[in-house]
Amino acid sequence: MDSQINAKTRSYANIMLEHMPVGVALFDAPAFHLLACNPLFETFLDPGWQNDRAIGHPLSDFIPGWVSEAQAASAVRVFRKVVETGTAYRVDWYMAPSRGSGTAYWNWYLEPVADQDGQISYLLLTVNDVTAQVLARQPAEQAHASLTQAHRAIEEEHKRLAVIETVARSVRDSMDIQAIGKAAIDTLAQDFNTWNVSIHVDDPMQQALRLLHAHLLTEDAQALAILQLVPYNSSLLLAQARQHRDPLIIEDLQTGVTSGIVASDHPLLAPDTRAYICVPLWFHDHFEGTLAASFNVTIQPDGPEVKTFVGCSTHIAAALAHARLHAAIENQRTRLRAVLDQLPEGVIIVESTHGRISYANAAAADIFGVPLAHLVDVPFNEYAQMHALTYIYGKQILPWNFTVIRALCGEKVTGQETVVARPDGNQVITLSSSAPLCTESGIITGAVLVFRDITEQKSLEQQKNEFISLASHELRTPITAIQGFAEILHMKAAQDTSLDTLTLRAITIIAEQSQQLTRLINEMLDLSRIENARLLLNPAQHDLLKTLRRVIENQAIALRNHSIRLVLKGLEATDTLPGYFDEDRIIQVMSNLINNAIKYSPAGGEIEVGLRHRPEEPAKALIWVKDHGIGIPASEIPHIFKRFHRAANLDHSISGLGIGLYLVHELVTRHDGRVWVESTEGAGSTFYILLPLKANQQ
Ligand code: ADP
């Protein structure tokens, strides 16, 4: 009965083994003969070993052909290890050729089976086909892998941006080139896996790149000495960077040496150096220097190291450029200050925002007679009112604060005379000019006042004026008498027929010369009157046409080689032209111009005196005096109305003091008129006067 049951159970067990979805095989130990297996297990074997043909054979005999020798040896080792240790061995997802096509995945489980004595006498191998599960999990696994990769890339990018941001922040606010170099290098060396990192700045004066800052992993004095100053023509890679816009990257230095890109004795070639990058630092079109680093790993042109260094380089280049420009401006400023400090002229700068003196030089303090510290930061207005007088030798002058206010309004004021009352009671006469200080966009930020002590010069001038005034006064009395008696003699001589021609001529010359002398003395007197602000006009209503006729008649008497002609435009000979002017002074002006026309056309000729009045400009008259004489060189014309100026084209026989035209200009200007000349050297001159006919209402 028992044997019947046992036989039945065995046949059930066989059915179960045959239909199990798991391959099962039993081996003896330690020889690893196959004792029994189910059909599924046999499917792993080569066809020649299937259908129980492997039973009784050791494992090494029937290992399938697709298993490599190494794998077969390792399988035998695993079997042995399980016997020795008594510990099961498991392999998940073992890849094997599929029975159909493609790849199959198996979980292997090798379990030791002990007998009653605890000896490992069998090994049970179960093989589970997990291809379906593996294939089902694969897309998820792949998605996970690519997510992990993306995450890593984001992390790297984040780190890269953080480094760039830190470098940008550390270099942004500094104007000190050294500090920028140190901040950038410290950040890069700390946050990045760099080996050596250095910044060089361009030094065009030395035709070299100068080391600004470096972080070297090992203290290599020799490498440091080489890096200190890298001439443009050096063989070092960073010397080449100035010719490039893109970074120079050597991904693998060892390959670089083999391919000859890098010399084998290159100082970069420390034993552990693997890669190198040199980024030229450009700010717009200006080469600022280089940022270079070597790495102990190989790098990729699109790798994080290159991206970070390139990203940082723009910030470093901008910071270096700003610092360079700032240093250049500071340098200029210091030089300018040094020049201003040394100037013999006083210089004061007044700021437009608060009206205080922001700068004064030593000469300014000297002229003001105060210590320099007392001048700076003082409101200029207060100072100017306290110390600057507005009158000089009785003549009113514009106070400084007005000059500065005009400069602050954008106007340039030159040749302003001012008297400074010094605290010690002395007075200093200054000649000052002021001008606005503007930004490039034209905004006025302040005013500069430059002044020179002209006290000595002024007092000499004053003495000279006083002498001229005194001398002309003293001369006037005798000459009046001489002229008077000469005229009497002249009149008498005209009636007396007994006089010989020589005596007659002598009397005529005495009369003419004393007249000329009187005119010169009067001019000198007028000059000193103008200097001392004592020349006053006596305007009244007159007929300008009549005045001109009077002048012409007076002049015509003495004419010899010349003729004089009155030309009227817009007027009839019978017309009158009423105007409000000082007749004596207008006669003086006209006589002066006509005398000059005669004097400077020694060959004779016609002198034209013209008067034009136009209905469209009823309040003005244009007068001119035209000659055909020697003319005035173009270069002399701007100076011709200046005191004592005589043109260079004169021959010495034409005498004069150079005062006449100065007086003409003064007198016409005081009538609110304008005088100018048009002239061609060798062809003649025309002097024009535009005279207002009505009194100035202001
Ligand atoms: P002066 O005649 O005493 O030299 P002015 O002041 O009258 O002084 O004239 C200044 C200078 O202008 C003269 O020296 C002369 O060179 C030039 N000038 C004036 N009038 C004429 C003119 N009509 N033709 C040429 N040059 C003239």
Q: What is the DSSP secondary structure assignment for residue 45, as one 8-state letter?
A: S
Q: Is the minimum distance from the CB of 684 to ligand 1 under 6 angstroms?
A: no
Q: Is the minimum distance from the CB of 171 to ligand 1 under 6 angstroms?
A: no
Residue pair 174/315 in contact (Cβ under 8 Å)? The answer is: no
Residue pair 40/21 in contact (Cβ under 8 Å)? The answer is: yes
The rounded distance, in Å, linking the Cα atoms of 220 and 660 is 86
Q: To test ligand 1's pocket by mutation, which of 530, 588, 608, 640 has the most ligand atoms within 8 angstroms of CB?
A: 640
What residues form DSSP beta bridges with 606? 563
Atom of ligand 1 nearest to the CA of 687: 23
Residue pair 96/108 in contact (Cβ under 8 Å)? The answer is: no
Which parts of 267-420 fold into alpha helices (H)?
A: 304-342, 362-368, 372-375, 380-387, 400-408
pLDDT in tens, 284-301: 999 999 999 888 888 888
Q: To test ligand 1's pocket by mutation, which of 564, 632, 644 has the most ligand atoms within 8 angstroms of CB?
A: 632
Highest mean pLDDT among 558-567, 648-657, 666-675: 666-675
Residue 551 reports pLDDT greater than 60 = yes
List the structure tokens of 264: 């084998």
Q: Is the minimum distance from the CB of 589 to ligand 1 under 6 angstroms?
A: no
Cis peptide before 30 (omega within 30 of 0): yes
Q: How much is the pLDDT for 98? A: 66
**CA–centroid distance for 178 within its chain:** 21
Q: Is the minimum distance from the CB of 256 to ligand 1 under 6 angstroms?
A: no
pLDDT in tens, 597-620: 999 999 999 999 999 999 899 999
List the structure tokens of 544: 């300008």
Residue pair 276/249 in contact (Cβ under 8 Å)? The answer is: yes
Helix (H, G, I), strand (E, B) or coil at 131: helix
Residue pair 347/357 in contact (Cβ under 8 Å)? The answer is: no
The rounded distance, in Å, linking the Cα atoms of 630 and 540 is 36
List the structure tokens of 155: 């992390």
Residue pair 371/365 in contact (Cβ under 8 Å)? The answer is: yes
Helix (H, G, I), strand (E, B) or coil at 571: coil
654 C-alpha vs ligand 1 centroid, how far in Å?
10
Residue pair 38/55 in contact (Cβ under 8 Å)? The answer is: no
Q: What is the mean pLDDT of residues 451-465?
A: 86
Residue 426 reports pLDDT greater than 60 = yes
Q: What is the mean pLDDT of residues 183-191?
A: 82
Q: To test ligand 1's pocket by mutation, which of 524, 596, 637 has the most ligand atoms within 8 angstroms of CB?
A: 596
Write the DSSP string, 258-276. Answer: HHTSS-TT-TT--TT--EE
676 C-alpha vs ligand 1 centroid, how far in Å?
13
* Residue with more model confidence, 131 or 4: 131
Q: Is the minimum distance from the CB of 289 to ligand 1 under 6 angstroms?
A: no
Residue 268 reports pLDDT greater than 60 = no
Q: What is the DSSP secondary structure assignment for residue 236, as one 8-state letter?
A: S
483 C-alpha vs ligand 1 centroid, how far in Å?
25
The rounded distance, in Å, linking the Cα atoms of 280 and 516 is 83
The rounded distance, in Å, linking the Cα atoms of 612 and 38 is 140
232 C-alpha vs ligand 1 centroid, how far in Å?
66
Q: Is the minimum distance from the CB of 664 to ligand 1 under 6 angstroms?
A: no
Q: Is the minimum distance from the CB of 654 to ligand 1 under 6 angstroms?
A: no
Which parts of 192-249 fold into alpha helices (H)?
A: 221-228, 237-240
Predicted structure pTM score: 0.50
Identify the CA nearest to 419 among candidates 438, 444, 394: 394
110 band by pLDDT with thresholds 50, 70 and 90: very high
655 C-alpha vs ligand 1 centroid, how far in Å?
10
Q: How much is the pLDDT for 400? A: 64
670 C-alpha vs ligand 1 centroid, how far in Å?
21
Which residue CA neighbors atom 13 of ligand 1 most closely?
Answer: 646
Q: What is the mean pLDDT of residues 381-403?
A: 59
Q: Is the minimum distance from the CB of 419 to ligand 1 under 6 angstroms?
A: no
Radius of gyration of the chain (CA): 56
Highest mean pLDDT among 366-380, 428-442, 466-480, 541-555: 541-555
Q: Is the minimum distance from the CB of 520 to ligand 1 under 6 angstroms?
A: no
Helix (H, G, I), strand (E, B) or coil at 452: strand
Q: To test ligand 1's pocket by mutation, which of 600, 659, 667 has the most ligand atoms within 8 angstroms of CB?
A: 600
The rounded distance, in Å, linking the Cα atoms of 296 and 489 is 120
With a pLDDT cut of 90, the percent of the chain lying above it is 37
454 C-alpha vs ligand 1 centroid, how far in Å?
30
Which residue CA neighbors atom 14 of ligand 1 most closely?
Answer: 646
Cis peptide before 112 (omega within 30 of 0): no
Orientation angle between helical segments 455-495 and 501-531, nearest 10 degrees: 150
Identify the CA nearest to 626 among candidates 567, 696, 580: 567
Atom of ligand 1 nearest to the CA of 650: 16
181 C-alpha vs ligand 1 centroid, how far in Å?
70
Q: To test ligand 1's pocket by mutation, which of 593, 606, 652, 661 has the most ligand atoms within 8 angstroms of CB?
A: 661
113 C-alpha vs ligand 1 centroid, how far in Å?
140
pLDDT in tens, 479-531: 888 888 888 888 888 887 788 888 888 888 888 888 888 888 888 888 888 87
255 C-alpha vs ligand 1 centroid, how far in Å?
90
Cα distances (Å, whole numbers) of residue 686 to 591, 601, 637, 645, 689: 14, 12, 12, 18, 10
Query: What average pLDDT is seen over the chain?
Result: 86
pLDDT in tens, 230-258: 999 988 888 888 899 999 888 887 776 67
Residue pair 64/98 in contact (Cβ under 8 Å)? The answer is: no
Q: What is the mean pLDDT of residues 376-398?
A: 63
